[in-house]
């Protein structure tokens, strides 16, 4: 089989780079932790803390980390608190670590394509030691849902076309890897991205070719298919 030559990878975070321990994270975890830090720092009740946070901006298009300076909350402490709690519910599986390492060695840039903000992306990668608050050696660029100021973020029909338009990525040598067919695979192909990959670590077959894409059970499967 002829190997696939790609110049760049777009990659989802949740369920793609990360995987789940089986412990459910509490909902709105980043908001909850920020409220708790405010309550502790200022001795306020939860309602007041929430009100102060929500008055800082628009949570539909902004990341909570943008509010930290005006709340006078340490970004480092917040980053660590969220990372520590998240590490109970998610982890970075071995295949992600190996895949990202190989792409780095091969000089193929990996950019995120995710609803997560840059701050939240780094927290999640930090759970597996792949990033810190300042960045990740494995990630060349970030395309958070809020990149285009659209409240629908990644779920907007404009998301993938806007990335291609703004960054001039060559669609014919671009690959999108995600775990959700509806939000990662079809919209990427529809935007003209040549290679769509769906990862499902519960899939029995290592590799299935269907619907114009590649369905894999482990990111290591891709290493055999790529020209690297």
Instruction: Work out how close the CB of 145 gets to Mg ion at its nearest, in angstroms, rounded to a whole number.
Output: 12
If the CB atoms of residues 49 and 128 are measured against Mg ion, the closer one turns out to be 128
Q: Is there binding between residue 12 and Mg ion (CB under 5 A)?
A: yes
Q: Which stretch in 10-18, 58-66, 78-86, 92-100 sits in contact with Mg ion by CB under 5 A?
A: 10-18
Instruction: Work out how close the CB of 107 gets to Mg ion at its nearest, in angstroms, rounded to a whole number.
Output: 26
Instruction: Work out how close the CB of 200 gets to Mg ion at its nearest, in angstroms, rounded to a whole number.
Output: 11
x/- contact string, 164-193, with Mg ion (CB under 5 A)?
---------------x--------------
Q: Is there binding between residue 147 and Mg ion (CB under 5 A)?
A: no
Q: What is the C-alpha separation between 147 and 161, in angstroms, rounded?
A: 12
Longest CA–CA separation in the chain, Å: 64
Size of the site for Mg ion (CB under 5 A): 4
Site for Mg ion in 40-99 (CB under 5 A): none
Q: Is there binding between residue 121 and Mg ion (CB under 5 A)?
A: no
Strand partners, 137: none
If the CB atoms of residues 179 and 218 are measured against Mg ion, the closer one turns out to be 179
On the 0-12 / 13-18 / 19+ scale of CB atoms within 10 A, 22 is: exposed
Full strand arrangement of the beta sheet holding 141-144: 141-144, 110-114, 8-11, 174-178, 195-199, 213-216, 207-210
Q: Is there binding between residue 15 and Mg ion (CB under 5 A)?
A: yes
Instruction: Work out how close the CB of 213 gets to Mg ion at its nearest, in angstroms, rounded to a whole number.
Output: 15
Binding site for Mg ion (CB under 5 A): 12, 14-15, 179
């Amino acid at each position: 089989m002829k190997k696939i030559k790609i110049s760049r990878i777009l990659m989802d975070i949740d369920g793609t780079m990360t995987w789940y321990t089986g412990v459910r994270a509490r909902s709105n975890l980043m908001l909850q932790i920020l409220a708790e830090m405010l309550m502790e720092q200022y001795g306020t009740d939860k309602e007041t803390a929430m009100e102060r946070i929500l008055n800082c901006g628009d949570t539909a298009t902004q990341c909570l980390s943008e509010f930290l300076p005006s709340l006078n909350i340490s970004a480092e402490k917040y980053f660590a608190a969220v990372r520590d709690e998240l590490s109970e519910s998610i982890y970075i599986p071995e295949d992600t670590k190996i895949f990202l390492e190989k792409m780095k060695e091969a000089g193929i840039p990996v950019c995120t394509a995710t609803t997560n903000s840059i701050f939240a992306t780094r927290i999640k990668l930090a759970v597996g030691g792949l990033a810190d608050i300042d960045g990740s050696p494995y990630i060349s660029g970030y395309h958070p849902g809020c990149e285009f100021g659209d409240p629908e973020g990644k779920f907007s029909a404009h998301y993938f076309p806007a990335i291609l338009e703004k960054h001039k990525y060559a669609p014919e040598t671009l690959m999108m890897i995600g775990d959700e067919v509806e939000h990662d695979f079809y919209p990427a192909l529809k935007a003209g991205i040549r290679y769509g990959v769906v990862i499902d670590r519960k899939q029995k077959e290592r590799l299935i070719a269907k619907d114009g894409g590649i369905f894999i059970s482990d990111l290591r499967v891709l290493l055999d298919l790529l020209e690297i």
